[in-house]
Structures are given as structure tokens and as C-alpha cells.
Amino acid sequence: MNYIIFDLEWNQGVNRGEKRDKKMPLEIVEIGAVKLNEDREMISEFSELIKPQIYHEMHNITRKIIHIQMEELEKGKPFEEVMPAFLEWCGEDSLFCTWGGLDLLELQRNMTYYGMKPLSDRPIKFYDIQKLFSLAYEDGKSRRTLEYAIDLLDIKKDIPFHRAFSDAYYTAKVFDKIEDPDVLERFSFDIYTPPDSRDKEIEIVFSDYAKFITQTFDEKKNLLDSRYINQPLCYLCKKRLARRTKWFSPNGKHYYSVGYCFRHGYMKSKIRIKKAENGKTFAVITHKLISKEDKKLLIEWRDEMIKKKHNAMKQPQ
């Protein structure tokens, strides 16, 4: 298996002139990538400028970040020509790697715009190197810039930043520094194409939590009435959890609950409601073992949230 570490640069409509195309808010103008073998040795490179077909004026922010002139882009190749060449270069037995979680989504959004099929008919497993860096060297929650990681790891800066190839090149350098096997277990999933049936659902168990991506539903209500919500299971033994709290939500998008497994203890469940590109609804559910004290704090947070909502309702309009 090879690793495909890629980076995209994109442009958008400017405020005073071109309006944003809702179907393609970000138009890819450059693809840069490096291919690593199983030993994470660099074996090939890919770099192409893409001729704009939607936004023909460079957004000021884009120009400042990536230092590309529109005149250069006009000499590039159309996306419909570059994308097939990129996929052929990637090969079949490859794992995508990116700095952050947006590139795969925007790549497929551009593909859809031009009538191409998405990369997969289900979520795509990939490495988010930005997340892995945080897990390996910081708190696992912070998200740093690529240049910050390069400086922290004392990696030589031998080409300029903020072009697609150079950022892919430096991302590969950071990836090569990550050796902890527990960190390398932490795959991410791009959900541009969520599961449309039960056989395509994703379940993955890490060392300290589990993630589940449900099939899509026509309406949010159908999801909230489903077995995923009403019959949560312990991700370790697959036994049904005894409810300690009902599901509660601070914002209508994230839902929390606490259950109890008589074999493994207390478990916090979190649901993130997502909207697919086709308008259907699905959820990303995580389950994590927690202590009795953590359970108590979570319930106190819920009670405080309910109290604030109740007080807000009592305020005169």
C-alpha cells in the first residue's frame, strides 16, 4: 500500500464582483501531492495548476496566502483533465493523507460539479496528519498550522510554504516523524458520501473509544427514533447499556447520554447530526468509557443547562 499525501489550493468569488456558486463555493486551482511507499519513503510527485472556469478574479485572501497570479492559472489545465490524471497517478492500493479534514470533501465537491463520480460510495478512511500531530506531540485537541509543526519538529525548510506541492511535501515530513502505533491507529473518515445502507455503515474501535457512522435517513426524526438512539450498546461487549440519562442536547445538533455496562462500567455517548449533500440526515456517534466522577460532572452539566433554559423561558419578552 502507498500513502498519497496531497494538498489543494482553491479560490472563491470576490465580494464586489463575482458571486459565489452555491454548488461550488471553493474552486480548486492547484493540486500537489507526494506518494510514499509502505516505509514512508517518497517515490513519486504530482503537481498541476488548474485553469479557472468559475471564478476568474483572484480573491484577495487567496492571493495573499498562495501567491499565485490569475495569469499563471489561465495557463493551467482544466479540472476535467487534471483529475483523471491525478487518480491514475494515485493508483488503486493507496491511502489518502491530508493536513486537516477539508481537502477530500472539496476535492469530491469539485468532482461532482463536473459530473464525475465521488471517490467512493461510502465514507473514505484517511489520515488527518494535523490530528495525528496533535495526538503525538500535544493534547490531541489543538489544531496547529503546518509551519508550526515543522518548527516544533525541527524539520528543515528547504522550499517555500503555501503552494499545494510544498504543503504536501511538508505534511509528508511531519507524517514520517510520527511513530507511536496508538496514534497511527487513529484513522479519520471523510463523509462526503455517507452510508446509504446498513451494509456500508462504519464502525471502528480505537484504544479508548469507538466511532460509528450511521446510514442516512430521509428526516432527522427518523434518525432520532432509530435503534442507534433507543438501543445503545457497549462497544466492547455489544450488550445493551442501562440508561443513566436520557439523551440531551445543548444545541439540537449534538446529543449526549450516559449509559452503564455491567461488565465495563459507565459510558458516555455523543451524537453529531450531519446533513448529507443530497439533503438526507445521518449521524456520527462516539462511545467512550468514563469514570463515575466524569458521569457525575456530565449530569451536573446537563442539569445546569436545563436550569438556564428554564430561566430564559421565564424572562419577560
Please give the full DSSP string across 18-85, using - where no structure is assigned: SPPBTTBSSEEEEEEEEEE-TT--EEEEEEEEB--SS--S--HHHHHHH---HHHHTTSB-HHHHHHH
Which of these three, 134, 162, 184, is where a domain ends? 184
Q: Are residues 144 and 266 in the same domain?
A: no
pLDDT band at 179 (very low <50, low <70, confident <90, very high): very high
pLDDT band at 127 (very low <50, low <70, confident <90, very high): very high
192 in a structural domain: no
Contact 44, 18 (CB under 8 A): no
94 in a structural domain: yes
158 in a structural domain: yes
pLDDT band at 315 (very low <50, low <70, confident <90, very high): low
Q: Which of 60-74, 102-116, 168-182, 283-297 has the lowest mean pLDDT?
A: 60-74
Q: Are residues 108 and 66 in the same domain?
A: yes
Quick check: 146 pLDDT over 60? yes
- Give the pLDDT confidence of 266-311 residue by residue, as tens digits: 999 999 999 999 999 999 999 999 999 999 999 999 988 888 877 7
- Give the pLDDT confidence of 54-91 residue by residue, as tens digits: 988 777 777 666 777 788 888 999 999 999 999 999 99
Average pLDDT over residues 186-214: 95
pLDDT band at 317 (very low <50, low <70, confident <90, very high): low
124 in a structural domain: yes
pLDDT for the residue numbered 65: 67
> Using CA atoms, how far apart are residues 215 and 199, in angstroms rounded to an integer?
9
148 in a structural domain: yes
Q: Which of 4-8, 59-63, 100-104, 140-144 has the lowest mean pLDDT?
A: 59-63
Using DSSP's 3-state secondary structure scheme, residue 253 falls into coil
**Separation of CA 281 from chain center:** 17
- Give the residue with greater pLDDT, 286 vs 19: 286
Q: Are residues 180 and 309 in the same domain?
A: no
Quick check: 218 pLDDT over 90? yes
pLDDT for the residue numbered 19: 64
**CATH value at residue 174:** 3.30.420.10
Q: Are residues 111 and 76 in the same domain?
A: yes
Average pLDDT over residues 79-106: 96
- Give the highest mean pLDDT range of 193-207, 215-229, 241-255: 193-207
The tally of domains found in the chain comes to 2
Q: Are residues 167 and 204 in the same domain?
A: no
Q: Which of 65-79, 110-124, 145-159, 251-265 has the lowest mean pLDDT?
A: 65-79
189 in a structural domain: no
Q: Are residues 259 and 162 in the same domain?
A: no
Quick check: 94 pLDDT over 70? yes
pLDDT for the residue numbered 24: 82
Q: Are residues 201 and 241 in the same domain?
A: yes
Q: Are residues 31 and 125 in the same domain?
A: yes
Q: Are residues 159 and 202 in the same domain?
A: no
Which of these three, 184, 206, 222, is where a domain ends? 184
96 in a structural domain: yes
Which of these three, 184, 212, 239, is where a domain ends? 184
Question: How many other β-carbons are positioned within 10 Å of the β-carbon of residue 211?
Answer: 20
Q: Are residues 44 and 112 in the same domain?
A: yes
Q: Are residues 128 and 8 in the same domain?
A: yes
Domain coverage including residue 206:
197-314
Using DSSP's 3-state secondary structure scheme, residue 92 falls into coil
Q: Are residues 22 and 59 in the same domain?
A: yes
275 in a structural domain: yes
Work out the mean pLDDT of the chain and round it to a whole number.
91
pLDDT band at 12 (very low <50, low <70, confident <90, very high): confident
